[in-house]
Amino acid sequence: MAGNTFGELFKVTTFGESHGKAIGVVIDGCPANMGIDLDAIQHELDRRKPGQSAITTQRKESDTFQVLSGVFEGKTLGSPMAFIINNEDQKPEDYAHLQTAYRPSHADYTYDVKYGIRDHRGGGRASARETAARVIAGAVAKQLLNLYGVHICAYVSAVGKLKLEKDYKQLDLSTTDDNIVRCPDAATADKMIELIQDTRAKGDTIGGTVTCVIKGTPVGLGEPVFDKLHADLAKAMLSINAVHGFEYGSGFEGTTKYGSENNDIFTKEDGKITTLSNHSGGIQGGISNGMDIYFNVGFKPVATIMQTQDTVDAEGNATEIKGKGRHDPCVVPRAVPIVEAMAALVLADHLLRSRVAKL
Amino acid sequence: MAGNTFGELFKVTTFGESHGKAIGVVIDGCPANMGIDLDAIQHELDRRKPGQSAITTQRKESDTFQVLSGVFEGKTLGSPMAFIINNEDQKPEDYAHLQTAYRPSHADYTYDVKYGIRDHRGGGRASARETAARVIAGAVAKQLLNLYGVHICAYVSAVGKLKLEKDYKQLDLSTTDDNIVRCPDAATADKMIELIQDTRAKGDTIGGTVTCVIKGTPVGLGEPVFDKLHADLAKAMLSINAVHGFEYGSGFEGTTKYGSENNDIFTKEDGKITTLSNHSGGIQGGISNGMDIYFNVGFKPVATIMQTQDTVDAEGNATEIKGKGRHDPCVVPRAVPIVEAMAALVLADHLLRSRVAKL
Amino acid sequence: MAGNTFGELFKVTTFGESHGKAIGVVIDGCPANMGIDLDAIQHELDRRKPGQSAITTQRKESDTFQVLSGVFEGKTLGSPMAFIINNEDQKPEDYAHLQTAYRPSHADYTYDVKYGIRDHRGGGRASARETAARVIAGAVAKQLLNLYGVHICAYVSAVGKLKLEKDYKQLDLSTTDDNIVRCPDAATADKMIELIQDTRAKGDTIGGTVTCVIKGTPVGLGEPVFDKLHADLAKAMLSINAVHGFEYGSGFEGTTKYGSENNDIFTKEDGKITTLSNHSGGIQGGISNGMDIYFNVGFKPVATIMQTQDTVDAEGNATEIKGKGRHDPCVVPRAVPIVEAMAALVLADHLLRSRVAKL
Amino acid sequence: MAGNTFGELFKVTTFGESHGKAIGVVIDGCPANMGIDLDAIQHELDRRKPGQSAITTQRKESDTFQVLSGVFEGKTLGSPMAFIINNEDQKPEDYAHLQTAYRPSHADYTYDVKYGIRDHRGGGRASARETAARVIAGAVAKQLLNLYGVHICAYVSAVGKLKLEKDYKQLDLSTTDDNIVRCPDAATADKMIELIQDTRAKGDTIGGTVTCVIKGTPVGLGEPVFDKLHADLAKAMLSINAVHGFEYGSGFEGTTKYGSENNDIFTKEDGKITTLSNHSGGIQGGISNGMDIYFNVGFKPVATIMQTQDTVDAEGNATEIKGKGRHDPCVVPRAVPIVEAMAALVLADHLLRSRVAKL
């Protein structure tokens, strides 16, 4: 109710402020007797962690997690799984100036009004650090999904105005992590990296887009009318810090088309019902149809820039602020595992929900 | 859990198949002692109803509702409010051919697999008729919101490639309903109407975009981290039939910008903290900041076209299908009140939720 | 959240005031493709309905229900099932005196304070008439449970101080409905009927107890730690009007025992693990163990008596009140189907929930 | 959904196995800006902890908790509060024999069947150790309730057949913790202690009853029809390990009465509407009426006894088992703070829920 839980049957609750003692996550509803690969969880955290490359923040956080409960001799018990990451490498002095000035396009002001109190150190609960907890939960969800043949791959498809002009079907998504920007097209990746480095050199930040593809989804996931599969994906994506847009299948481009262009014709292939095109993005009527699910997630530029900006303090007095500390010039490379994690949470939840749809 | 309920505190459950006995909605959680204007509810239903103009489906449904409970002497009791609309003007013979052929880009196939049974008459539960129930609930939510000074206005901002090139601040939104396409710019409206009529003449359909603006939202609505105000708006919008995209504030355009361009500088105006620009779309960190909330909702073209299309039946045998019955050539004019209704449900829910955020 | 919904996966929402237009229920989450026996639903309603015998209220309500949605050609669609019963035989004049005087031990005063408004006619939402909606939902749940071999039988085990001195295993529960008090022991039933008639003759009312037995529950229903099967049964029973107590298995009597007396020894019988005794009432650690589930539900005497009682009005001024209208002298005979219905809702919900506990 | 969360607005999720790394709790929904007294939390834990007196288990656990999040400079942030207690003093060798034999009247068998896997060390998730996490959450809830004048006191009212023959109004509840059995009547307490010691000497265990009194509840808490205040209290209590019965107000005794005896007559006292008697137990129609709330909670004898008992192993083979380790001969003295904690969770949740009932 207070907004820190996601999912209905595969239920995930995150907790923790960026500069508190620890952040963590409780997963309630993961089926019992499932093997848990802890290394695979750490691998996902490493894809998200700060300091991983020349184009991310240089903050160093090892992001090593501990399992507190719910796993016994390498398997899930069916009880809540709790994970924590202790916070470290905190430089609260980087944030002292934030106690009295609202950072533009940050959550400082709205948190202050909503709660009447705020942990100003590094964004507190509003910090993207919270997404590390999501990545843990998503890594567990992926392990559940893999058992059912569902695989999720995201990649960077745009940085600023620089757009990857290929469709996911023209790309080898296994190469996404081969470069530090996570774009599975080497030539475009190089240009993106250069653009991000130029941006950082100017003390600025830049937006971008992540595309996500889900293969192997069984037919039947999604709960009309409100919990349509794509509606839950939209919410999941918009719940990630800095996301301002979501489109699936033919997306906004499809809204400019005629029905005769956009419809997906059913056919039979290898004894299976399938569609000739896939403008529906693998979802019809809110329910997966077995085709690839794909969608775009748009991230605004990071709000913390290394330039002086005008602002006000809590009393409304004019002041100015300049980004200190170590921030990402562009969030999308590190957002790739977060997008995958949130997609995994949605799919795992709907996989479980689909078990009760019919006799 | 089965997907027919929306909201946490202002909780709305819809029911009903398009060709069953009735559709309806139960609202649980509307505060007691609130005056209810039944005419205002009917007015919203009339904005959505079929047959309202030359560019909508010619199906005639009076869409007259009944209140079954929760209202006493013109006021809410605090108990569940149930509303129903009896179904009428049903021509099930229009749908007999659907028993054996899957309509392209419709929910026929996915419902069949998910549930193992389907009411093939007019889409059953997957029919957009279900949104009439949402409009009733949204009309009640609007009455609650009005008491707090929150006002919601949506309008058509694109039909196919024809885009309204003005920003909402350049428009007089009180004129939206002055034309049948619901575009608050007379010249553009005329062109849109013409485009829709041409499309219909070809037996085709076309997509479009609805823009929604919410004014007067108090600071503090939205529940981080998962139930961010825009995340719930995204889900609400994507849960509407045919919606494929959502963006708020600077949206996808903003993802191509630098932070120094996109940030909203805080200032003080009339003794109140406000921002100079509003790329944030009235929401920061998932919480409303008191500025206008605005977003775009993209609708794909209606799947039912009056042309012959190839398809398969439940066994996968090739067959063909041609749209019968009376369908909309473009859904956006009738979608305007639906977008407003869903926005109202989100805002009303978060208004109530905000009451418990602090001591 | 506002309290009108029960269950997590088999989710039931009731609506309606006793003297409004209709009462009803929406069931969301019943699996698709299940045959629905409408006569069986009506049969359960008839067991609950007023005017059924000499020892119940003489109010006549036919309690005929309509199905509005969710059922197609005799089967569930997987969509929400809505049912309504129109209200009739209303004598609001019986209630005019209640506008200004609070009935002792009724909900008039607390509703007034909580909601600031009240439908004074017949108790409004607080009327036991609401339980008719529960009985409909329970009848559907029973049909689901029967497919899994689960059967629920309740009966009257005490009226006032007159207690049925036999254990359920000594009774033939198929004879429960053979007499109007619903006690499966003819001699005790006769005495109970006499006691109720004497009570009514004095213008008084009397309390009693209903015992419920559930046979055939599969091992594994119940979700520790909070949603233990018996915890949800307790809530279900206490949510019925006038219930003041719940005990299962060895109950309060068991709290006076030693562990060596109360423990149930495991053994193997016909190749199945079972227990020699069943003080656990078929539930261990909150999870069904396959043995009979049994529990007692205590009902206080009906608050409306045909005697003059002192009370106050909304301003606290002293006044007096005398029961008018037609009320039950003892609620337990009509409570039997309600107890069964609520038990069925709990079991059906947990049956569905158990589907996701393990891989 | 998987049963580890309690409450709707004041939402509490516990996690942890008795012999895993830690147990803990996340509280989501506690209002921001509330002062938190950590010592008061530790005090409640100390009332529950093992080894506290001669009549409890001699296991030594310091039960020292850590706050991981949600508290900043002594106040709540409005974000989730996470607390953990690391497990220590584990003697898993005490439990090795449990791997192959089902303890009578324990959850071993049902967990095995439900989840297909079980942490056999000390009961794992089914251990009463989980209630330490509830006590932490309850201590926070009490601090919220105290701000509104609500106070909760529980005490031991029966051990086996030895019953405290005084009503709570005849007792000084501030003396409850003056003796180790937590009975606020010194003479009875002595007898209870003796009975428990005798029981332990025989290697047996014994049941008992805890009575709970809540003073100062504002009028209006409770959400009809399903979430009646007493229904949620019943569920809360039955969710505690070993509880088999719940009754409130006049309880089962009241079911033997006439309406004319049991009704509570309204009157006005000191300008406030009140009732002459309080058989309703402070709740009418599921909503608090401002009078004292009181109820009894019945605990069966602890299942682990120090005697040899017959049982079976997972394959159903006959074997025997004898309690090892250090267990409570009677659970009620340590159950007093647990009952209070669960009552506090219910009241805090309904306090928040009541904020949205009316305009």
Q: What pLDDT, in 10s, does the model give residues A92-122?
A: 666 676 677 999 999 999 999 999 999 988 7
Q: Choose from A255, A260, A284 for mutation: most chain B CBs within 10 A.
A: A255
Residue of D nearest to B9 (CA): D356
Over its C-alpha atoms, chain C yields an Rg (Å, rounded) of 21
Contact B109 A284 (CB under 8 A): yes
Domain with D77 in it: 5-355
* Strand B266-269 to B272-275 pairing: antiparallel
In sequence order, the β-bridge partners of residue D350 are none
Burial class of D205 by CB neighbour count within 10 A (0 to 12, 13 to 18, 19+)? buried
Which of D31, D147, D358 has its CB closest to that of B33? D358
D355 contacts in chain B (CB < 8 Å): 355-356
pLDDT reported for residue B240: 98
Structure tokens at C176: 């429960």
Contact D32 B358 (CB under 8 A): yes
Which of B34, B355, B357 has its CB closest to that of D78? B357
Residue C58 confidence class, pLDDT cut points 50, 70, 90:
confident
ipTM of this model? 0.97
Structure tokens at B114: 């998910």
Contact D298 C254 (CB under 8 A): yes
Contact D312 C273 (CB under 8 A): yes
A208 contacts in chain B (CB < 8 Å): 255
Contact D1 C223 (CB under 8 A): yes
Q: Which residues, including other chains, have CB under 8 Å from residue D300's CB and lie 6 or more apart? A: C249, C250, C254, C255, C257, C262, C279, D105, D207, D242, D243, D244
Contact C110 D304 (CB under 8 A): no
State how far the Cα of D319 lies from the Cα of D100, in Å rounded to an integer: 9
Contact A77 D124 (CB under 8 A): yes
Contacting partners of chain B (3+ CB pairs under 8 A): A, C, D
pLDDT reported for residue D212: 98
pLDDT reported for residue A324: 75
Structure tokens at A244: 């301002």
B1 contacts in chain D (CB < 8 Å): 1
Contact B199 A288 (CB under 8 A): no
Q: How far is CA C119 from CA B79, B252, C85, in A?
A: 10, 51, 19
Q: Choose from C72, C75, C111 for mutation: most chain B CBs within 10 A.
A: C72
Which of B1, B31, B357 has its CB closest to that of D358? B31
pLDDT reported for residue B165: 95
Contact A263 B4 (CB under 8 A): no
Closest CA to D280 of C99, C237, C110: C110
Return the exposure string of B150-165: e unless at least 16 CB atoms fall within 10 Å of the residue's CB, then b.
bbbbbbbbbbbebebe
Structure tokens at C266: 């495991």
Residue C118 has pLDDT above 80, yes or no: yes
The phi-psi region of residue D99 (left if phi > 0; otherwise alpha if psi is between -120 and 50; otherwise beta) is: alpha
Q: Which residue in the block uniquely carries the two structure tokens 């940030």?
A: B263
pLDDT reported for residue A59: 81
D256 CB-side CA count, 13 A: 6
Contact A31 C358 (CB under 8 A): yes
The alpha carbon of residue A253 is apart from the nearest alpha carbon of chain C, in Å, by 32
The answer to which of A193-197, B117-121, C200-204 has the lowest mean pLDDT is B117-121
Residues D274 and D268: beta-carbon distance below 8 Å: yes
Residues A278 and A293: beta-carbon distance below 8 Å: no
Residue A295 confidence class, pLDDT cut points 50, 70, 90:
very high
- Count of CB pairs separated by less than 8 Å, A with D: 158
Contact A82 D17 (CB under 8 A): no
The alpha carbon of residue D324 is apart from the nearest alpha carbon of chain C, in Å, by 15
The alpha carbon of residue A8 is apart from the nearest alpha carbon of chain B, in Å, by 7
A114 contacts in chain D (CB < 8 Å): 32, 78
Burial class of B31 by CB neighbour count within 10 A (0 to 12, 13 to 18, 19+)? buried
Q: Which residues, including other chains, have CB under 8 Å from residue A51's CB and lie 6 or more apart? A: A57, A58, A59, A60, A61
Q: Which residues, including other chains, have CB under 8 Å from residue B200's CB and lie 6 or more apart? A: B55, B329
Residues D342 and D136: beta-carbon distance below 8 Å: no
Residue of C nearest to B14 (CA): C80
Contact C115 B32 (CB under 8 A): yes
State how many domains chain A has: 1
Residues C136 and C25: beta-carbon distance below 8 Å: yes
The answer to which of A10-14, A147-151, C120-124 has the lowest mean pLDDT is C120-124
State how far the Cα of B327 lies from the Cα of B305, in Å rounded to an integer: 8
pLDDT reported for residue A351: 98
pLDDT reported for residue A60: 79
Residues C336 and C156: beta-carbon distance below 8 Å: yes
Q: What pLDDT, in 10s, does the model give residues B77-109?
A: 999 999 999 998 666 666 676 677 999 999 999
Contact B147 D359 (CB under 8 A): yes
Contact B359 D34 (CB under 8 A): yes
pLDDT reported for residue D90: 61
Contacting partners of chain C (3+ CB pairs under 8 A): A, B, D
Contact B359 D78 (CB under 8 A): no
Which of C231, C263, C287 has its CB closest to that of D303? C263
How long, in residues, is chain A? Answer: 359
Residue of C nearest to D109 (CA): C289
Q: How far is CA D87 from CA B260, D18, D19, D22, D92, in A?
A: 50, 7, 7, 5, 12
State how far the Cα of D333 lies from the Cα of D340, in Å rounded to an integer: 12
Residues A104 and A321: beta-carbon distance below 8 Å: yes
A288 contacts in chain B (CB < 8 Å): 110
State how far the Cα of B345 lies from the Cα of B138, in Å rounded to an integer: 6
In sequence order, the β-bridge partners of residue C277 are none
C250 contacts in chain D (CB < 8 Å): 244, 300
State how far the Cα of C66 lies from the Cα of C69, in Å rounded to an integer: 9
Contact D316 C271 (CB under 8 A): yes
State how far the Cα of A246 lies from the Cα of A333, in Å rounded to an integer: 17
pLDDT reported for residue D104: 94
Return the exposure string of D1-21: e unless at least 16 CB atoms fall within 10 Å of the residue's CB, then b.
bbbbbbbbbbbbbbbbbbbbb
Structure tokens at D56: 């409890």
In sequence order, the β-bridge partners of residue A105 are none
- What does the pLDDT average to over A281-292? 98
pLDDT reported for residue A58: 84
How long, in residues, is chain B? Answer: 359
C38 contacts in chain B (CB < 8 Å): none
Which residue type sits at A356?
Answer: V
Q: Annotate chain A with three-state secondary structure.
A: CCCCEECCCCEEEEECCCCCCEEEEEEECCCECCECCHHHHHHHHHHHCCCCCCCCCCCCCCCCEEEEECEECCEECCCCEEEEEECCCCCHHHHHHHHCCCCCCCCHHHHHHHHCCCCCHHHHHHCHHHHHHHHHHHHHHHHHHHHCCCEEEEEEEEECCEECCCCHHHCCHHHHHHCCCCCCCHHHHHHHHHHHHHHHHCCCCECEEEEEEEECCCCCCCECCCECHHHHHHHHHHCCCCEEEEEECCHHHHCCCEHHHHCCCEEEECCEEEECCCCCCCEECCEECCCCEEEEEEECCCCCCCCEEEEECCCCCEEEEECCCCCCCCCHHHHHHHHHHHHHHHHHHHHHHHHHCEC
Contact D3 C204 (CB under 8 A): no
DSSP state of C141: H
The alpha carbon of residue D35 is apart from the nearest alpha carbon of chain B, in Å, by 10
Give residue C336's Cα distance to chain centre. Answer: 6
Q: Which residue in the block uniquely carries the two structure tokens 């006493």?
A: B72
C95 contacts in chain B (CB < 8 Å): none
Contact C359 A34 (CB under 8 A): yes
Residue of A nearest to C1 (CA): A1
Burial class of C271 by CB neighbour count within 10 A (0 to 12, 13 to 18, 19+)? exposed
Contact A79 D114 (CB under 8 A): no
Residues D24 and A68: beta-carbon distance below 8 Å: yes
State how far the Cα of A216 lies from the Cα of A145, in Å rounded to an integer: 9
Closest CA to C230 of C197, C198, C254: C254
- What does the pLDDT average to over C188-206? 97
Which of D21, D32, D80 has its CB closest to that of A13? D80
Residues B118 and C78: beta-carbon distance below 8 Å: no
Q: Work out the number of other CB atoms within 10 angstroms of the CB of residue A317.
A: 11
Which of A9, A77, A116 has its CB closest to that of D115? A77
Residue A284 has pLDDT above 90, yes or no: yes
Please identify every stretch of chain D with a pLDDT value under 50, giving residue numbers as ranges: none
- Count of CB pairs separated by less than 8 Å, A with B: 389
Q: Choose from B202, B219, B266 for mutation: most chain A CBs within 10 A.
A: B266
Residue A155 has pLDDT above 70, yes or no: yes
D15 CB-side CA count, 13 A: 32
Residue of A nearest to D86 (CA): A68
Contact A67 D26 (CB under 8 A): no
* Strand C22-28 to C11-15 pairing: antiparallel
DSSP state of D323: -
Which of D24, D28, D77 has its CB closest to that of A5? D28
Contact B119 C72 (CB under 8 A): yes
State the CATH number of the domain containing residue D117: 3.60.150.10
Residue B337 has pLDDT above 70, yes or no: yes
Q: What pLDDT, in 10s, does the model give residues B230-278?
A: 999 999 999 999 999 999 999 999 999 999 999 999 999 999 999 999 9
Residue A163 confidence class, pLDDT cut points 50, 70, 90:
very high
Which residue type sits at B196?
Answer: I
Q: What pLDDT, in 10s, does the model give residues B275-324?
A: 999 999 999 999 999 999 999 999 999 999 999 999 999 999 999 998 77
Burial class of A349 by CB neighbour count within 10 A (0 to 12, 13 to 18, 19+)? buried
Could you list the beta-strand ranges (E) of chain B.
5-6, 11-15, 22-28, 65-69, 71-72, 75-76, 81-86, 151-159, 162-163, 208-215, 243-248, 266-269, 272-275, 283-284, 287-288, 293-299, 308-312, 318-322
- Count of CB pairs separated by less than 8 Å, B with C: 159
Residues D286 and D228: beta-carbon distance below 8 Å: yes
pLDDT reported for residue B92: 60
pLDDT reported for residue D322: 83
pLDDT reported for residue C236: 98
Contact D72 A15 (CB under 8 A): no
State how far the Cα of C245 lies from the Cα of D279, in Å rounded to an integer: 13
Residues B55 and B200: beta-carbon distance below 8 Å: yes
Burial class of A308 by CB neighbour count within 10 A (0 to 12, 13 to 18, 19+)? exposed
Residue C292 confidence class, pLDDT cut points 50, 70, 90:
very high
B33 contacts in chain D (CB < 8 Å): 358-359
Q: Which residues, including other chains, have CB under 8 Å from residue C123's CB and lie 6 or more apart? A: C18, C106, C107, C129
